[in-house]
A = this chain, B = another copy of it.
Amino acid sequence: MKPIKAGLLGFGTIGTGVIKVIQNNAAVIEQRLGRSIQLARVVDLDITTDRGVALETGVLSDDAQGLLNDPEIDVVIELIGGYEPARTFVLQALNNHKHVVTANKALLALHGEELLRAADDNGVTLMFEAAVAGGIPILASIRENLCANQFSGVYGILNGTCNYILTRMTDNEEDFASVLGDAQKLGYAESDPTFDIEGIDTAHKLSILVSMCFGTWIDFDQIYTEGITRISALDIEFASQLGYQVKLLAIGKLDNGSIEARVHPTMVRNNYPMADVSGVFNAIRLNGDFVGPVLLHGGGAGMEATASAVMGDVMHIARSITSGANTFAPSLGYTPVAITRLPVKAMDDLVGRYYLRFIVEDSPGVLAKISTILGDFGISINSMIQPDEMFESDVEGILPIVMMTHEAREKNVRQALEKIEALPIIKEQCLLIRIEDKLD
């Protein structure tokens, strides 16, 4: 049987990984598919740098249009990243009736609806397993194996940079800034880490998970997104005393016909496997009405794990072509006509428990002032820590007060904090961390 011909756009780190898989595992790929995958064209602006992999003569060029218009190419692998020209190229490939595999979560989060419609209109498949949690087979599991379930919630640790930083802060009581610096030196964080540490990358991935779990389109700006930059070693230490770990969690829930979609630092109970996910690993916990909770854990990034996911998609498409199916399963796991646009719950309407940390003047009556305002907004306190000895400050006469609330409405909590922050006894902006006790 003649090989499936793939064209690769973007010869960077992941692209190099994909070429390595195709070359190193050619035998096992053919044993599994009954045919081989041939990398017919590789396109990049830079065609001179040595990436440590050998390509046949004539394969590498800077001619994207040549690739996109080559009638021999069955599958286009888009690993350029970013919005343009990736979006234009993917649309061109789909309109030329080529299947497309991409790892580009930013592109999907912002233009997914347009791209998936184009794939559907042209009777081809757009796949993106590598866009969420690298090598972990989460999208395929949602789409194809757990698909008899109605999901109630999806919870993800989806950004290795943030999880590495939070793990180091937890294990060594280090400060955010110093760990970030180290992570940059070690290559675990970009020189501009904004997308990672502000939660934007995690939110891109959550938008894909929410669409697949609940069969809905969601606009990227409907996802509440808060990063980890305000978390201190002190908060992590308090959380630990209270039996929790602090994780940057992507949270998607279906609640009575509306969606919750949010990314923020979250306190997760120590006895959940999710709390043990450490370093650059990723994990996703899914709850289905029949399967119950399922956790998938593995390498969320890096050349090799991501290339594994890209090639899993390419092989899926190869099987579709071989079997005559052309398109086997819809990309989001729902038939396009079934995908709706469910309402997204406003953050103000969120009901949950909260960790609140105040930095206050060390003077009598402080606690009374804070708790009076909280009480005025109907927020009751579950537990409180007011440690002297744990807190080392450069400034004399200030100390932290930490509270865990009972269930409260987010709007009330925010209004109360605004009022508390106006008090002269408050010496720093208050910190709020949301608590997820159940993950169901």
Interface residues of chain A, those whose CB is within 8 Å of chain B, are 17, 20-21, 24-25, 28-34, 129, 135-137, 140-141, 144-150, 215, 273, 276, 288-299, 304-305, 307-309, 311-312, 314-316, 319-320, 323-330, 333-335, 337-338
Contact = CB atoms under 8 A, between A and B. Distances in A.
A333 B32 contact: yes
Contacts of A334: 31-32
Report how many copies the assembly holds: 2
Given A20-B290, A25-B290, A30-B338, 14 more contacts: A21-B148, A28-B149, A31-B335, A32-B338, A135-B146, A135-B291, A145-B316, A147-B312, A290-B305, A291-B299, A291-B309, A292-B304, A295-B296, A324-B325
Nearest to A149: B308
Given A308-B149, A335-B32, A137 B294 contact: yes
Nearest to A283: B295
A308 B296 contact: no
A243 to B, nearest CB: 16
Nearest to A141: B137
A249 to B, nearest CB: 17
A138 B17 CA distance: 24
B21 A290 contact: yes
Contacts of A323: 320, 323, 325-328
Q: Which of A34, A307, A329, A330 has the most CB of B within 10 A?
A: A329
Given A34-B335, A140-B140, A149-B308, A292 B288 contact: no
Contact of A149 (B25, B149, B296): B25
B28 A311 contact: no
A320 B325 contact: yes
Given A149-B308, A308-B290, A328 B338 contact: no
A315 to B, nearest CB: 5
A87 B295 CA distance: 33
A234 to B, nearest CB: 26
B295 A299 contact: no
A144 to B, nearest CB: 6
A290 B273 contact: no
A406 to B, nearest CB: 29
A125 to B, nearest CB: 11
Contact of A148 (B34, B293, B312): B312
23 contacts: A25-B148, A25-B149, A25-B289, A28-B215, A29-B147, A34-B335, A135-B146, A135-B288, A135-B291, A136-B294, A140-B140, A140-B145, A144-B144, A146-B308, A146-B312, A148-B307, A148-B308, A148-B312, A290-B304, A291-B309, A293-B299, A294-B297, A323-B327
